[in-house]
Amino acid sequence: MRHLIDPTDLSVEEIQQLLELAIDIINNRQKYAHVCDGKKLATLFYEPSTRTRLSFTAAMMELGGNVLGFSDARTSSVSKGETVADTVRVVSSFADIIAMRHFKEGAPNVAAQFSRIPIINAGDGGHAHPTQTLTDLLSIMRELGHLDNLTVGLCGDLKYGRTVHSLIKAMKRYEGTRFVLISPDELRLPDYIKNILPSNFVEVSTLEEALPMLDVLYMTRVQQERFANQDDYERLKDSFILDAKKMTLAPEHMIVLHPLPRVNEINIDVDQDPRAAYFRQVENGKFVRMALIYTLLQKTQETAKQSKTLSATTHRCTNDRCITRTEPVSLLAYTDQEGIERCAYCDHCLKMN
């Protein structure tokens, strides 16, 4: 059975197939209207969401399937102290596929260990968000026509922005990708992502410097809910604001993406610009999730491919947001290309133990 926990769980070829399937769905809606008749998607959302949950729900409904689940963990047995492992074992009896969003990093990995049905990570803490990445890739493909040789500016909260982490992991596999990083010092990429960046990346301190070089500008919100100290959030929240005046510095073909919700980082005067693709991006999210659900339900006989070699470790992860800190799961690690031992759930460095 195949899960989608991290974007690299899918090969570049498999991503291409998903994008092509999404485009076929867009062009032939009727053909797919009943392909998931009788199937059930469980949406287990332990953290707030509008777009992602509704988009999964709409996707399953448009495939002919049904949806059950919760959007507020306080109304489920989680509030009685149930573990992710137990919840998932139970839900495996009621549904055919699960989309899970959790505030703990690595929670979907735990779910995948105990589930009898495919797990889709719909966002885990500040870690990963692979279905947003599929949405982003489909948007770039539809807007610009290709995924190679692109200069992609990533702006805002690169530290806690899980959409950015997953987008980097996916885009770095395409020929000629170049990343331009635009963030306050305090909100730079975590080291496990920085270590895998292609060597041609650049860091700049203003949007004005970045804009003329970009094909794609990926704006993100400063992730208030991940800050330990709210004063830091207040200080950093308006570090980068895109407006119509700054857009005059951008190439004609550049597109602006944003996973949404936006807070303040894109002025509404940009919305009318044809290069503002963020509302078109939302719709792509539904189509690519249709492609994903349909595909994973067909791959139930396939064995999951493990991109990292995991081994048992005695080192406990020191990341407070990691699922291993709160749930009794086996401690697993892998060694990255720099020789650093990392937590298999949240990618945090274990060496500091």
User: Where on the chain is the footprint of ligand NCD (CB under 6 A)?
Assistant: 51-52, 123, 129, 132, 162-163, 221, 259-260
CA distances 298 to 117, 292, 293, Å, are 12, 10, 9
Determine the Cα–Cα distance for residues 49 and 167; give it in Å rounded to an integer: 19
Rounded to a whole number of angstroms, the minimum distance from the CB of residue 51 to ligand NCD is 4
Decide whether 57 or 132 has the Cβ nearer to ligand NCD.
132
Query: Does residue 233 sit in helix, strand or coil?
Result: helix
Which positions are annotated as active-site residues?
51-52, 80, 101, 129
Decide whether 129 or 178 has the Cβ nearer to ligand NCD.
129
Determine the Cα–Cα distance for residues 292 and 56; give it in Å rounded to an integer: 10
Rounded to a whole number of angstroms, the minimum distance from the CB of residue 48 to ligand NCD is 8
Decide whether 181 or 350 has the Cβ nearer to ligand NCD.
181
Determine the Cα–Cα distance for residues 131 and 116; give it in Å rounded to an integer: 21
Determine the Cα–Cα distance for residues 184 and 170; give it in Å rounded to an integer: 23
Rounded to a whole number of angstroms, the minimum distance from the CB of residue 159 to ligand NCD is 13
Q: What's the CA dihedral at 263, 266, 271, 277 to 10 degrees?
A: -100
Contact in structure between 281 and 170 (CB atoms under 8 Å): no
Rounded to a whole number of angstroms, the minimum distance from the CB of residue 151 to ligand NCD is 22
Query: Does residue 154 sit in helix, strand or coil?
Result: strand
- In angstroms, what is the C-alpha Rg of the chain? 20
Contact in structure between 274 and 251 (CB atoms under 8 Å): no
CB atoms within 10 A of CB 342: 23
Rounded to a whole number of angstroms, the minimum distance from the CB of residue 264 to ligand NCD is 12
Decide whether 51 or 172 has the Cβ nearer to ligand NCD.
51
Decide whether 83 or 281 has the Cβ nearer to ligand NCD.
281
